[in-house]
Amino acid sequence: MYGERPARADHVLRLDGVGVEYRTPAGSVNAVSDVTLDVPARGITVLAGPSGSGKSTLLRVLSLVERPTTGGVELRGRGTARLSAKARRALRRTEIALVFQNPADNLVGHLTAGDNLRAAAQASGRAAAVRELLAQLGLPDTADWRVSALSGGQQQRLAFGCALARGASVVLADEPTSQLDSVSADLVLETVADLAERGVPVVVASHDPRLIALADTRFDLRNGVLAA
Ligand SMILES: Nc1ncnc2c1ncn2[C@@H]1O[C@H](COP(=O)(O)OP(=O)(O)OP(=O)(O)O)[C@@H](O)[C@H]1O
Ligand SMILES: [Mg+2]
């Protein structure tokens, strides 16, 4: 079984010559071209670059949401090109956690914080230590709160907590602080740093300078190409 393989020490994800081409009525767009990179198995990796440079596209490829037009994606040393849609979905459920920009997209709004953590853990056959996780996230005593009663920043922290509860091999986040005020964003940054310290590699697409400052590894994109 895939999930039982030990993680390779050096990298969790590898892109080899990845290109993504979109066809539009105005012609084809190369959102990403010939990107080769390794995401280390430890620490915070940031994909930086201006709007339209291909950060979200690359994150979708890294998280196996989207197949690249060219090139390959390896997860923990294994190619993914030949996997069926079902096998890719299974990996996304157990190995890969995604955190989106909009807090409401990451959680089940009508469930409590505790139930969100439990559901995340169950998806990969685990049990969640809810109280301990919430305390780690700086959200003590919120187990019985509905998600909709939490602030946007608290919801984002809970979303990263769900990734931890699932035991994901890697967490990928697309501009997780961009819809937050700076105090809430700081708390989310603490959570990201905490996750990385616990040994979970985190990949973040962002142009937030404070997030970029946390990067152990940084890749800069310009017009879909990695900058030297
Ligand atoms: N589904 C799509 N169809 C056509 N073009 C697309 C599609 N998705 C992205 N693109 C184009 O690909 C390029 C890269 O977009 P992407 O969203 O990856 O950039 P980004 O770096 O995440 O930008 P932002 O900082 O604004 O979120 C852009 O030119 C965009 O218009
Ligand atoms: Mg984007």
Number of domains in the chain: 1
**24 within some domain:** no
The answer, yes or no, to whether any atom of ligand 1 lies below 6 A from the CB of 47, is no
**100 within some domain:** yes
The answer, yes or no, to whether any atom of ligand 1 lies below 6 A from the CB of 49, is yes
**70 within some domain:** no
193 sits in the region (left: phi over 0; alpha: psi -120 to 50; else beta) called alpha
**135 within some domain:** yes
Q: Residues near 141 by Cβ (< 8 Å), separated by ≥ 6? A: 134
pLDDT digit string, tens, across residues 190-214? 999 999 999 999 999 998 999 999 9
Give the domain extent around 154.
41-65+89-226
**22 within some domain:** no
Best probe residue, ligand 1, of 20, 35, 56, 222 (max atoms within 8 Å of C-beta):
56
**74 within some domain:** no
User: Ligand 1: which residue has its CA nearest to atom 16?
Assistant: 54
**192 within some domain:** yes
The answer, yes or no, to whether any atom of ligand 1 lies below 6 A from the CB of 172, is no
pLDDT digit string, tens, across residues 29-77? 999 999 999 999 999 999 999 999 999 999 999 999 999 999 999 999 9
205 alpha carbon to ligand 2 midpoint, in Å?
7
Instruction: Give the single-character DSSP code of 109.
Output: T
What CATH number has the domain bearing residue 120? 3.40.50.300
**180 within some domain:** yes
CA distances from 152 to 33, 42, 105, 146, 202 (A): 34, 27, 11, 13, 20
